[in-house]
């Protein structure tokens, strides 16, 4: 959760899990895992990802 910017620290991550429930948090983390995995696939296939644009997209997704 910290890696993806969902939580500021591990203790914050635990608080989020308590508030939202483990299953909801697990689903969100799995979503971000798949996003980062797909981006990695695109980069390995030599697609160019515009600098900064992916970060903006990911930040927007996190704020939902």
DSSP characters for 39-56?
Answer: HHHHHHTTPPPPTTHHHH
Mean pLDDT calculated for residue range 27-52: 85
% of residues, the chain, pLDDT over 90:
42
Note whether residue 46 is domain-resident: yes
Q: How many folded domains does the chain comprise? A: 1
Give the C-alpha separation, 25 to 39, whole Å. Answer: 21
Note whether residue 23 is domain-resident: yes
Q: Is the pLDDT of residue 3 over 90?
A: no
Note whether residue 30 is domain-resident: yes
Parent domain of 38? 10-62
pLDDT score for 9? 94
Give the C-alpha separation, 44 to 57, whole Å. Answer: 20
Note whether residue 2 is domain-resident: no
User: Global pTM?
Assistant: 0.62
What average pLDDT does the chain have?
A: 84
Selection from 39, 13, 49 nearest residue 28 by Cα: 13
Q: Is the pLDDT of residue 55 over 60?
A: yes
């Amino acid at each position: 959760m910290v890696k993806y910017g969902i939580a500021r620290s591990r203790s914050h991550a635990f608080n989020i899990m308590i508030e939202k429930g483990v299953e909801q948090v697990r689903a969100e983390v799995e979503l971000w895992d798949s996003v980062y995995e797909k981006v990695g696939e695109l980069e390995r296939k030599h697609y160019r990802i515009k600098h900064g644009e992916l970060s903006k997209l990911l930040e927007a997704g996190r704020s939902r």
